[in-house]
Amino acid sequence: AHLDRIAEVDGRVHAFLHVDTDGALAAAREVDSRRAAGAELGPLAGVPIAVKDVIATKGVPTTAGSKILEGWRPPYNATLVERLRAAGTVMLGKTNMDEFAMGSSTEYSAYGPTFNPWDLTRIPGGSGGGSAAALAAYEAPISIGTDTGGSIRQPGAVTGTVGAKPTYGGTSRYGLVAFSSSLDTPGPCARNVLDAALLHAAIAGHDPRDSTSIPAPVPDVVAAARLGASGDLTGVKIGLVREFSGEGAESGVMSAFTETVEALTKLGAEVVEVSCPHFQYALPAYYLIAPSECSSNLARFDGVRFGLRVGDDGNRSLEEVMSLTREAGFGPEVKRRIILGTFALSSGYYDAYYGQAQKVRTLITRDFTSAFEQVDVLVSPTTPFTAFELGARTADPYQMYLADLYTIPTNLYGGPAISVPCGLSDGLPVGFQVMAPTLADDRMYRIAAAVE
Ligand code: GLN
């Protein structure tokens, strides 16, 4: 039924870069035979899933939205793909995204944009716009995204779906095409909080193949989502970030957010204002740290090891082939970040830019730590604005970067955060963000389920 739905609507939505019909049918049959053989199957057995194209899938094209990886079929599976398989999910295909996960609208995909199912003239968010649009268009019931600065939560917010960024290190990065390794976090996307929690439980947990994976038990996020759905928040303390109050957010977004906060107080939560003075520096710090790490990570795309190779006519040097390949293979936003990152890391400027940004990162982490001494969770709108028209923010990169104003602090800190739908503004979905302390992913699901 989902493959039929994709055939029916994806010509208009373009959530998928690759639909793996044969693989999906084979995986579904495998689940059937496991069931027939009496195997004990989990709650996601047989459930179709869409996977962001930044995650390595054995034998199935993986482009990261870039021309430089066109035609690459990884010889191995990411850990999370192995776990999805073990859980019995059925992968439908790979979803569209901004090139190398850099962007907030999916317009920077080298394969053309994804369109928001709520209004096809608008963006579905990014970088994981395909994973969110696939849910909103009923092409898949659950999907996988990756969140470096907001790429799970912001698409969730603007498509009226749920997107959760787990604690950094709570989900494995093994087999993820790296953008910014100290920030990249794979996580679940779904149409409701309980489905997201079920998917979270299936993919999370220690992976010895990822050196930053946390060797700690995964909190019971499913039980927490069920507890939150019961609607009792007595004894829960919720913090409003003073620095996020109003400024920069559309009024329709702010009013949907404020109404939701009021609803939470009716469920018994106590709401207080908390100051996080360094959050205002999160965006500039992120746009030094993420490009710096990307300039290093993307050095591996050299025209030799993966995908595209340009100009290899037997007369050119390795360096010329590398340069022609990178010139043709990378899009403008990726080039901008490589240049920015290379500059920020260069010896004369390292302390002034990268070093300074790392210090700001520490100050932001301290803001979170002291906030969580006062409250259980912090809340904010997920994004300052609802889904915008295609083309509205591509001329000025800074306008695009603003989409992640409220999501980026969490990435710099490393804690979990989720976006859950909280109403409409001018007929378009608004997202409510819940941020929790590192490793308290269960707490985040509890509050999110109460919002829902
Ligand atoms: N929009 C942010 C960026 O362009 C975040 C991307 C992400 O989370 N992958 O870097």
| pLDDT per position as a tens digit, 439-449 | 999 999 999 99
Q: How far is the CA of 74 from the centre of ligand 1 (A)?
A: 24
Residues 6+ apart with CB under 8 A from 226: 194, 449
- Contacts (Cβ under 8 Å, ≥6 apart) of 306: 68, 69, 72, 300
Query: Cα 151 to chain center, whole Å?
Result: 3
Distance CA 120, CA 12 (A): 8
- Dihedral over alpha carbons 94, 96, 101, 105 (to 10 degrees): -150
pLDDT higher than 80, residue 248: no
**Dihedral class, residue 189 (left if φ above 0, else alpha if ψ from -120 to 50, else beta):** beta
Beta bridge partners of 91: 49
Question: Which residue is catalytic, options 52, 66, 292, 380?
Answer: 52
**Residue 187's Cα: distance from chain center in Å?**
7
- For 58-95, the pLDDT digits (tens) are 999 999 999 999 999 999 999 999 999 999 999 999 99
- Work out the average pLDDT over 330-340: 97
Whether 307 shows a pLDDT value over 90: the answer reads: no
Q: Which atom of ligand 1 is nearest to the CA of 290?
A: 10
Digit-coded pLDDT (tens) for 364-400: 999 999 999 999 999 999 999 999 999 999 999 999 9
Largest Cα separation within the chain, whole Å, is 73
Helix (H) or strand (E) run with residue 82 in it: helix 79-86
In ligand 1, the atom with minimum distance to the C-alpha of 104 is 1
Whether 246 shows a pLDDT value over 70: the answer reads: no
Q: Which of 98, 337, 338, 398 to mutate to test the pocket of ligand 1 (most atoms within 8 A of CB)?
A: 98
What per-residue confidence (pLDDT) applies to 310?
A: 95
Q: Whole-angstrom Cα distance, residue 110 to residue 79?
A: 26
Has residue 362 got a pLDDT over 90?
Answer: yes
Q: Is 159 helix (H, G, I), strand (E, B) or coil?
A: helix
Alpha-carbon torsion (81, 165, 13, 332), positive or negative? negative
- pLDDT at residue number 306: 83
Among 127, 143, 295, 425, which one carries the catalytic annotation? 127
The answer to whether the pTM exceeds 0.95 is: yes
pLDDT tens column, 251-261:
999 999 999 99
Q: Quick check: 247 pLDDT over 80?
A: no
Choosing from 96, 98, 144, 151 the residue with most ligand 1 atoms within 8 A of its CB, the one to mutate for a pocket test is: 151
C-alpha to C-alpha distances, 158 to 142, 263, 274, 282, 286, nearest whole angstrom: 16, 21, 26, 22, 22
Residue 248 near residue 216, CB atoms below 8 Å:
no
Contacts of 208 (CB under 8 A, 6+ apart): none
User: Could you confirm whether 127 is annotated as catalytic?
Assistant: yes
Segment 172-188 mean pLDDT: 98
Does an H or E element contain 290, and which? Answer: helix 282-297
- Bridge partners (DSSP) listed for residue 93: 19, 50
Distance CA 67, CA 64 (A): 9
Mean pLDDT, to the nearest integer, of 162-180?
Answer: 98
Atom of ligand 1 nearest to the CA of 183: 8
Distance 61 CA to ligand 1 centre (A): 22
Tens of pLDDT, residue by residue over 250-295, are 999 999 999 999 999 999 999 999 999 999 999 999 999 999 999 9
Using the predicted structure, report yes or no on whether residue 245 has a pLDDT greater than 90. Answer: no
Catalytic residue among 66, 105, 131, 151: 151
Assigned fold of 2-227: Amidase signature (AS) enzymes (3.90.1300)
Q: Round the average pLDDT of the chain to a whole number and report it.
A: 97
Q: CA 383 to CA 250: how far, in whole Å?
A: 9
442: its two tokens: 């269960």
Which atom of ligand 1 is least distant from the CA of 126?
Answer: 1
What are 306-314's contacts with CB under 8 Å, separation 24+?
306/68, 306/69, 306/72, 307/63, 307/68, 307/69, 307/70, 307/71, 307/72, 308/67, 308/68, 308/69, 308/70, 308/71
CA of 318 to the centre of ligand 1 (A): 32
Choose which residue among 144, 148, 337, 393 to substitute to test ligand 1 binding: the one with the highest number of ligand atoms within 8 A of its C-beta.
148
ipTM above 0.90, yes or no: yes
Distance of CA 297 to the CA centre of its chain: 18
User: Is pLDDT above 80 for 409?
Assistant: yes
Q: What is the 3-state secondary structure (H, E, C) of 6-50?
A: HHHHHHHHCCEEEECHHHHHHHHHHHHHHHHCCCCCCCCCCCEEE
Residue type, 62: T
Give the pLDDT score at 335: 98
Does 151 participate in catalysis according to the annotation? yes
Tell me, what's the pLDDT at 305? Answer: 86
Q: Which residues line ligand 1 (CB under 6 A)?
A: 101-104, 127, 147-151, 179, 290, 404
Give the list of residues 6+ apart from residue 333 with CB closer than 8 angstroms, or none. 98, 99, 102, 103, 108, 397
Over range 154-173, report the average pLDDT: 98
Task: Give the ligand 1 atom nearest the CA of 150.
Answer: 8
pLDDT tens readout for residues 183-241: 999 999 999 999 999 999 999 999 999 999 999 999 999 999 999 999 999 999 999 99
* Sign of the torsion formed by the C-alpha atoms of 155, 86, 180 and 53: negative
Question: Token pair of 346, please?
Answer: 């260069």
Collapse the DSSP code of 434 into the 3-class scheme (helix H, G, I; strand E, B; otherwise coil) and give the result: strand
Give the pLDDT band (50/70/90) at residue 176.
very high
